[in-house]
Structure 1
Amino acid sequence: MVASWWSRAGLGIFVHWTPASVPGWAPPYVPADRLPLAGRRSPLGWAPYAEWYENALRFPGSPVSAHHRATYGSRPYASFGGDFNDALGNWDPNAWARDFRRAGARYAVLVAKHHDGFCLWPSEVANPHRAGWHTTRDVVGEFAEAVRAEGLRFGVHYSGGLDRTFDDRPIGTGADAVSAVPRGSYPAYAGAQMRELIRRYRPDILWNDIAWPGSPSDVQRLVEYYRFAVPHGVVNDRLMPHAPIRRALSLPGAKALYDGWERRTTVRGEGSVPRRPPHHDFSTREFARCTRPDPYGITRGIDHGFGYNRDFPPEAYLGREALETLVRETAAGGGKLLLNMGPRGEDATVPAEQQLRLEWLAELTRELTPDGCVPG
């Protein structure tokens, strides 16, 4: 049974903030179901997801590659980590936490490690492929302390399924993503980092992404460790363990079948639909509604992606009416809304268009409930 505090937590704030937030760029929005129809055999290389900047660079003909050549020349993606660290001197986690509370949020989830492998804490688990690929400031710890001081629960996102420092093959489709989950030394590395996050920060939410590189027994031991350390904690539905069937995607035609299934779910408006792993407390959806009777959460950006995109026009962001409808309908359906913020990497600030949406949420939550929080 899911923890009682999560059952009452209507609104949460997701924060995607990585070295990709320094260039902060992705191509114009095209609905996911239309990208393949436009002749894109590798739609994820053309998608409007700025947080996937490094992956899009792997496709020489992609809009991101053209933008990067014109703006940065041959500068490697890894160099943006230095810019990101330099900007942390301007970061005020307490101001962010106050804004989240005023917006009516009851919890906040920080991306501690995204698919580029960059860690937002000075991890003691050394990356064997890219030394020093982490923040010098303990962003995770300071973020957790700030949001908890405002009465919010703290969650940690970890990309267990992808890490481009271990496997940097281009990911163009969902089948490519499944195939790119690293093996070898990566399962032990990811397990050690996840335990380090649990031990140091005791997150109220363990939000894994994509899949888990280890075996079913590895997942079971990890979840048991988490539940022992954080008895009131909740786990999302993306700790899908490694299975030999993944190797079947190397068979002729298998990837096409998988990608066809994923495209059909997108066209039906179901968004990203994770399979049910053996251990989870709530299900997730991205940019889609959910009608499941079990505990569920909807996650989406304020715009068409998650990471900061400096070229998104004002109309790319949720309008006031659409935002209010999303909040009200999700709450009425018993779901939780995890709404994403994508701060800028060059100065550690929340863009004005996103800040405005937080102010709208603050006005809305004052109308909905006397305690200033979106009801669950």
Structure 2
Amino acid sequence: MKRNLIYKCLACLPLLGTVNLAVAQNKEADKVKMEHAQIGIVEDAKSGYKHTTHPGAQWFPEAGLGMFIHWSISSIKQIDLSWPMMAGTQIGWRSPKMDSASVKKIMDSGNYFAGNGCEKTNSCITPVEYWALAKDFNPQNYDPEKWIKAAKAAGMTYAVLTARHHDGFALWPSAYGNFNTKNYMGGRDLVKDYVAACRKYGLKVGIYYSGPDWHQNGDFQNFMYYGVGRDYPNIPVLDENLRPRTTVKTEAEKQVHYNEMAAYVKGQVTELLSNYGQIDMIWFDGAADISRGNKAWDKCITMAEIHKLQPAIVVSPRFFGYGDYKTFEQDKALPKTKQDGWAELCTTITDGGWGYTGKPLKPVSLVLNNLIKCRANNANMLLNYGPTKEGVLTPEMYASLAEIASWMKVNGSAIKGAQALNASESASVPATATDKHRYLFLLAPKKGEKPVDEQVTFSTKGSIKNVSLSGNKAPLKYSVENGQLTVQVPAALRTALPNVIDLELK
């Protein structure tokens, strides 16, 4: 009896793991939605904007894989970018919601980080303390050529660097504002070196720019996470020291500030799109700190001005509410259906945030599985690596990139330049297509599982010329009947990473 009970319990363990993963992904999804609401990311479905048709931008839909680089002064303390300074996230991001009595207790205590994970790691930080990290930010070993060289080897075709995140620190000596390398690093231009590295290794140049700037907006910013005030009564508005604000700005003061923010954002974006030659992508993240519908928006940068500065640029939709492609964020948002327009999933190599936090890396098998799911649905993957305070990627990160490189060397043609199957073809597994080739993907086994014999089917109106397993000369058994190909792949031919069946059509 006891033995049967033990077996039953053991049988439940995989299911429990699946349930726990689903719960974690749902919580991450809720967190992302709330972050986006905080920084003003909305979708303007009525804009009528269509993606750019400029010849110089048509690389994007077939790019496949890119490198995202989140880096700022937060690397000094190995915390994530920007969000750690925002109080109340342990309440606003919580699912299920905290009861009102518990929230009131936190508010009454004056410790607005109560219950936040930062208490366990001694990493709670006020905005003023966060911004003070700038004086210690001096990456002596910064060499973006090493990053980009590794990205190139890994089959990445574009890169995106956080030139300025929500924290407000700009990685170039901007003439706008006083929180950038002009004031803290003797005018050193970190963006310039990054752009030069991309050009050297032939990667498309992407620049991330945050519409919100919590430093420039500091006197007007509420540093209590907005969702707390939305969902609970009597929530204080917090200043940069995380103390309740005692004054309220007048409408006239707000209007002057909105105009200043419009000029500031327009000035910085203009610098980024004017001072570094051709920029292939601007990855906006959030709207400017200007009330929606306010006349100050007329003074801010426009899509037309962006295209005048950089005619061939690809623009993300996270600033204007529309852009050249659809964005998905983090693994839980993997596109599950074929995307008709341009699309991209941005995700992290770790489960511990976007910046360098010292957290372990995801297994490459999982990363590649997700990349395959993206490409089979016509989406790119922008994979994030966070450099350390010295400006370097860790040995573990380079090992990760090298493992991806080895796989892409064999299977890159199934990723870059490939598209989802058209409506006349179908497969029992994720698949992509080029002119005369169809690529059928056998996803890597989940952690703890071993490869098994696989039977894969593929329906097509074309004639099959050859069937092979990429990187393996061993013959595959297959049959064709009434337009359906059936391929047998024995477990002995499988590897720990995804395998690719290459079908060549006549």
What TM-score, normalized to structure 1?
A: 0.72
Alpha carbons 2:62, 2:418 under 8 Å: kept:
yes
In structure 2, what is the Cα distance between the partners aligned to 1:295 and 1:144? 24
Deviations 1:326-368 (A, max 9, x none): 11111121101111010111x2111233222211210121121
2:284 aligned with 1:204, yes or no?
no
Aligned residue type for 1:330: C
In structure 2, what is the Cα distance between the partners aligned to 1:187 and 1:80? 26
Which residue of 410, 414, 418 maps to 1:367? 410
Alpha carbons 1:306, 1:342 under 8 Å: kept:
yes
2:408 aligned with 1:332, yes or no?
no
2:122 aligned with 1:77, yes or no?
no
For residues 68-147 of structure 1, the aligned pairs below 5 Å read 68=122, 76-85=129-138, 87=139, 89-127=140-178, 132=183, 136-147=187-198
In structure 2, what is the Cα distance between the partners aligned to 1:147 and 1:233? 15
CA 219–64 in structure 1, closer or farther in 2 if over 3 Å, else same: farther
Instruction: State the 1:162 CA deviation.
Output: 3.8
Partner of 1:232: 312
Alpha carbons 1:123, 1:134 under 8 Å: kept:
no
Partner of 1:6: 60
The structure number with the bigger radius of gyration is: 2
2:295 aligned with 1:189, yes or no?
no
Partner of 2:385: 341
In structure 1, what is the Cα distance between the partners aligned to 2:91 and 2:200? 39
Q: Which has the higher contact order (CA 8 A, sep 6+)?
A: 1
Alpha carbons 1:11, 1:339 under 8 Å: kept:
yes
Deviations 1:146-205 (A, max 9, x none): 11110100011111134234134224356879x999835222211111111111124210
Aligned residue type for 2:205: F
Aligned residue type for 1:15: I
SS across alignment from 2:346: strand
Partner of 1:309: 357
Range moving further from structure 2, 97-106 or 73-82: 73-82
In structure 2, what is the Cα distance between the partners aligned to 1:129 and 1:91? 17
In structure 2, what is the Cα distance between the partners aligned to 1:66 and 1:165? 30
For residues 139-288 of structure 1, the aligned pairs below 5 Å read 139-167=190-218, 168-172=221-225, 183=258, 185-201=260-276, 202-213=278-289, 218=298, 222-240=302-320, 277=321, 279-287=322-330, 288=333
Aligned residue type for 1:363: S
CA 328–73 in structure 1, closer or farther in 2 if over 3 Å, else same: closer
SS across alignment from 2:137: helix
Alpha carbons 2:66, 2:156 under 8 Å: kept:
yes
CA 61–165 in structure 1, closer or farther in 2 if over 3 Å, else same: farther
SS across alignment from 1:344: coil
Instruction: State the 1:23 CA deviation.
Output: 0.4
For residues 18-57 of structure 1, the aligned pairs below 5 Å read 18-25=72-79, 35-37=94-96, 39=98
Range moving further from structure 2, 211-220 or 2-11: 211-220
Alpha carbons 1:18, 1:118 under 8 Å: kept:
yes
In structure 1, what is the Cα distance between the partners aligned to 2:76 and 2:129? 13
Aligned residue type for 1:239: F
In structure 2, what is the Cα distance between the partners aligned to 1:40 and 1:337? 38
For residues 290-309 of structure 1, the aligned pairs below 5 Å read 290=335, 291=337, 292-304=339-351, 305-309=353-357
In structure 2, what is the Cα distance between the partners aligned to 1:302 and 1:129? 27
Q: Please list every run of 5 or more consecutive structure 2 residues that lacks an aligned counterpart in the other structure.
A: 1-50, 101-110, 231-236, 239-253, 420-506
Which residue of 334, 337, 345 maps to 1:289? 334
Which structure shows the higher strand fraction? 2
Instruction: State the 1:231 CA deviation.
Output: 1.5
What value does the CA root-mean-square deviation take over the aligned residues?
Answer: 3.8
Alpha carbons 2:282, 2:313 under 8 Å: kept:
yes
CA 283–162 in structure 1, closer or farther in 2 if over 3 Å, else same: farther
Aligned residue type for 1:123: S
Instruction: State the 1:40 CA deviation.
Output: 8.9
SS across alignment from 1:369: helix
CA 11–184 in structure 1, closer or farther in 2 if over 3 Å, else same: same
In structure 2, what is the Cα distance between the partners aligned to 1:16 and 1:107? 15
In structure 2, what is the Cα distance between the partners aligned to 1:352 and 1:141? 25
How high is the sequence identity, in percent, across the aligned residues? Answer: 27
In structure 2, what is the Cα distance between the partners aligned to 1:32 and 1:145? 43
In structure 2, what is the Cα distance between the partners aligned to 1:189 and 1:236? 20
Which structure shows the higher helix fraction? 1
In structure 1, what is the Cα distance between the partners aligned to 2:69 and 2:77? 17
Alpha carbons 1:212, 1:238 under 8 Å: kept:
no
CA 173–23 in structure 1, closer or farther in 2 if over 3 Å, else same: same
